[in-house]
Structure 1
Amino acid sequence: MTRSTWRTRIGFILAAVGSAVGIGNIWRFPWLTAENGGAAFLTLYLVLVVGVGVPGLIGEFVIGRRSNRNPVGAFDELAGRWYRPLGAIALIACLVILSFYSVVGGWILRYTFASTTGAYFAAPQQYFAAIDYGLGAVGFHVLFLAATVAIVYLGVERGIELSTTVMVPGIVVLFGGLAVWVSTLPGAGGGYDFYLSLDVSYLRENFFSVLPAAAGQALFTLSVGAGTMLTYSSYLGEDRSLAADGTLIAVLNTAIGVLAGLVIFPLLFSLGVSPGQGGPGALFVSLAGAFAELPYSRLVGVVFFGVVLLAALSSAISILEVLVAYLVDEHDLSRGWATLGTGGIFLVTGTIAALSPSAFGLLADTLSNVVLTAGLIGFLLFDGWVLGRLAREEFGRGAGPIAQIFEAPWYYAIAVVLPVFLAFTLVTSVAGIVGIDTSTGSAMALALIGITAVVLTFRRHGIPVERSA
């Protein structure tokens, strides 16, 4: 069967950006920034996007384009069935993410409808507190999930590419206009200070608590570790530069996230809302207050939340498609039954998240960080230790002379440096889940153990370990 491909390079890039931009950058980024010290989080996040996110994104591209398969089938195709569990981690990541993603999608859907009446204008904080969890949240979660399932059921080969070509530029234009407007508000300067002025002492004292959140957001915002980018890259042609496309996607994604912060934090301070009080509702509280002050406020609210809804929907479709593709390719289920079955699972898991703030927080913050980090570790180790020369060869396909300069540094980074670092952040995250107070000394000891294990393994087996594809 002939496999679909992206029609244009810009279509692929905007689809990849759109897979995370709706919730990853516009909703989750400001929330986690507010809870982790503002500029301290932003600083670590930017470093990790460049040093971890981009190499990891390219590593996932390598596996996807080399195999032309879904996450589980890709490892089977390239190295045999014993490596299929690496793809299973990506499936678990999709399960975790979409379970809370559809709840947030329901919030966005509700705000889109509420914008027509201006229901949230008078008291934005109180409005969100009244609708964030409970039976109403379940109802809108179901509506959002139903729309996602319906589109995937009918097929989305061209839907994502066409919609994101319009959607992503629209989000940039809207946020750019809002960023200019909020700069004129009284009290906005406090938001800029919180967001852009680095408190070195705070970062030093809270480094090991901020690091896992920043690493998880760097992976979340680039959609790496969950198999989404692996699946997208399986439709790429061999004449495309993975390094160039991956870098451009990372730049666009990060720019939109930073731009969202330049809107939301000045708005929070101008409204007299402490950033730490925003929580998961920071986006809704701040923008709701902003729209109330704008001319044609209801129309602006409908347009804005409508565009974000499209972004969230395209992201949800891409996540659900990973699971559906696995069931169709590996278990010979019809597309219809695979879509309805996975939709039924998310109906239950999303309902739990919509009813329980603690369950939502566990999925949206801690568990998503853990599974994305674990997934990327598996992808990178597979690239570096199993594919070996073939990974470097795939990196070089379609790459120009400048990109080829980075081939060797990229390879040794994904084979050694990044897995050790990600293992360190993974251990830190797991320690937090189980309630262990991980001190600096014990954390560093765990990192040294990981480095020692890598060194000993390499001394025994050598790099690269090449396998035929």
Structure 2
Amino acid sequence: MAQRETWTSRIGFIFAAVGSAVGLGNIWSFPFQTAANGGAAFLVVYLLAVFLIGFPTMMVEFVIGRRGEQNPIASFGKIGYGNWSFTGGLGLFSSLITLSFYSVVGGWVLSYILGSATGAYFGDAGAYFGSVASGPTAIGGHLVFMVLTIGIVASGVTDGIERATKVMIPGVLLLLVALAGWATTLDGAAEGYSYYLSPDFGVIASNFGSIVPPAMGQAFFTLSLGFSVMIAYSSYLGRDDSLPADGGAIVVVNTLIALLAGFVVFPILFATGGAEGAGGGAGTAFVALAGAFGSLPAGGIIGFFFFAVLLFAALSSSISLLEVPVSYVSENYGYKRSTTAVAMGGLIAVIGVPATFGTSWLGFYNDLVFKLLLPISVLLLAVFVGWVADREAVDELGRGSSVGESFTSAWLWWVRLVVPVAVIVTLYLGVEALYTGLASGAYF
């Protein structure tokens, strides 16, 4: 059997993990989830979810991955709990479903990069979205995006994923900082910042049931939790790496990029009419931004760079989602990585075709993952590490780290008690919302 690849450096792992976390969820979904759910009120709940639930859960996946040193399904067997491998399998399934519709949105981004260069969406942003969001153009963009993703994953952990993310993540940061600086010059900047950063806690209290599920789902999605991605990535780590330090760096950088995206998007929205029209779903986000770019000086140039940031972010996440099934199939059945990447990528592309028929299918896929699959997966992971795994597995958290026994114990009890309660509440509210959507015919 060929020797298993590892990251060439700690920074390589951090960039790859940040790349997985920093995707369309941060730059496209996060600002518009914020706009749709009360502005700064949503931001407060999201930040609490990231640091109080997301970071401890990331440590759960890191412990399983590095301890198991195999793909997300086999890792449970490696540490002596093979009957829990279905938890890694659920994450793998979530990765498949997510990438199938995520790549459709990635295809939209490719169309908008072209539209920025040609000015195609300047006249009628809504009509342009309609022309690229479904039908042959959407299918073509979906397939091109999948080909790019497959090419990177097929090249391997070090030559493909690590090398690509070392380029893309600094690029995303630099371009976002530049765009945020430009956004401060817009007439609507001050109003946009106020909406984004001045929470009304009464909104949280009165809309708790509608804010918590998307905020928690957004936290899981933007940190790549519940997909088994972090189990897969941490399985390539060396024993001397500090899991808490690396996880902390990943969470901070990921959150910084999400916040930066808001500093770009909200001034643009308020310079061209406010945030009210930006909360209507996946398509509305693209229409609102394209309409704004079409009415701003040098909008085509700004739009081109903004959608280029989206493309880098989307690819850095899509390769992590594809890595989960590819690592499982290639390691368990002995197939070449390149062959497996093509086969699994092709399967995912086929699964995603319904999402190119219209945004209703895409919305259903999105809510199925956010409101059902990810919370269930995170709950199972927390129960496994908190109540099932032995102390030797738990002690993996402190290996290569300066954290003491008290930190590990506090984390363990937090994972045992707080994380499951928070996720169960989120799951209940999410299932209720999903059922309501299905019963009302909102998806189809």
With normalisation by structure 1, the TM-score equals: 0.87
Match of 1:345 in 2: 347
Question: 1:6 maps to which residue?
Answer: 7
Residue 180 of structure 1 corresponds to 181
- What's the Cα RMSD here? 2.3
Q: Distance in 2 between matches of 1:203 and 1:276?
A: 21
1:122 and 1:113 map into 2 onto residues whose CA distance is 15
The answer to whether residue 43 in structure 2 is matched with residue 56 in structure 1 is: no
> What does residue 159 of structure 1 align with?
160
Aligned mates of 1:301, 1:159 — CA distance in 2: 28
Q: Please state how far the C-alpha of 1:204 moved relative to its aligned partner.
A: 0.9
2:329 pairs with one of 327, 330, 342: 327
Distance 1:101 1:67 in 2: 29
Give 1:119 deviation, angstroms: 1.9
Measured at CA, do residues 315 and 436 of structure 1 come closer, stay the same or move farther in structure 2, by a change above 3 Å? closer
Letter in 2 for 1:383: V
Identity over aligned pairs, percent: 46
Relative distance call for 1:21 and 1:436 in structure 2 (3 A) is closer
2:203 alignment partner in structure 1: 202
What's 2:109 paired with? 108
Deviation, 1:174, is 1.7
* Equivalent residues of 1:212, 1:369 under 8 A apart: yes
Question: 1:361 corresponds to which residue?
Answer: 363
Q: Is contact 2:35-2:276 (8 Å) kept?
A: yes
Q: AA paired with 1:345? A: L
- Change in 2 beyond 3 A, CA 1:183/1:298: closer
Contact 2:152 2:164 in 1 (8 A): no
- Hey, what's the Cα distance between the residues in 1 that align with 2:218 and 2:225? 10
Corresponding residue number in structure 2 for 1:393: 395
Residue 416 of structure 1 corresponds to 417
Change (3 A) 1:286 1:256: farther
SS in 2 for 1:261: helix
Shift of 1:164: 1.9
CA offset at residue 132 of structure 1?
2.2
Matched ranges for 1:39-438 at <5 A:
39-278=40-279, 279-281=281-283, 284-285=286-287, 287-289=289-291, 291-292=293-294, 298-401=300-403, 405-435=406-436
- For residues 436 and 362 of structure 1, what CA distance do their matches in structure 2 show? 9
Could you say if the C-alpha distance between residues 282 and 20 of structure 1 is closer, same or farther in structure 2, counting changes exceeding 3 Å?
A: farther
Q: CA deviation at 1:253?
A: 0.3
Is 1:191–1:265's contact at 8 Å kept on the other side of the alignment?
Answer: yes
Question: Does structure 2 conserve the Cα–Cα contact (< 8 Å) formed by 1:61 and 1:242?
Answer: yes
- Aligned-pair distance for 1:416? 2.1
> What letter corresponds to residue 119 of structure 2 in structure 1?
G
**Structure 2 unmatched ranges of 5 or more:** 439-444
Cα distance change, pair 270–98 in 1 and its aligned pair in 2 (3 A): same
Q: Which stretch of structure 1 is more off in the superposition, 305-314 or 94-103?
A: 305-314
* Letter in structure 1 aligned against 2:349: L
Q: Residues 18-29 of structure 1: matches in 2 within 5 Å?
A: 18-29=19-30
With 352-361 and 129-138 compared, the bigger mean Cα shift is at 129-138
2:32 is the counterpart of 1:35: no
How far 1:298 sits from its partner (Å)? 4.5
Q: Is the 8 A contact 2:87 2:380 kept in 1?
A: yes
What number of residue pairs does the alignment pair up? 436
Distance 1:392 1:80, change over 3 A: closer
Higher mean C-alpha displacement, 369-378 vs 328-337: 328-337
Please give the alpha-carbon distance, in whole angstroms, between the structure 2 residues aligned to 1:193 and 1:303.
25
- Return the alpha-carbon distance in structure 1 between the equivalents of residues 353 and 318 of structure 2: 16
**Please, which moves more after superposition, 280-289 or 178-187?**
280-289
Normalising by the residue count of structure 2, what TM-score does the alignment of the two structures yield? Answer: 0.91
Q: 1:299 to 1:209 in 2, by over 3 A?
A: closer
Contact between 1:45 and 1:215, CA under 8 Å: does it hold in 2?
Answer: yes
Task: Between 387-396 and 148-157, report the one with greater CA deviation.
Answer: 148-157
Cα distance in structure 2, aligned partners of 1:8 and 1:275: 45
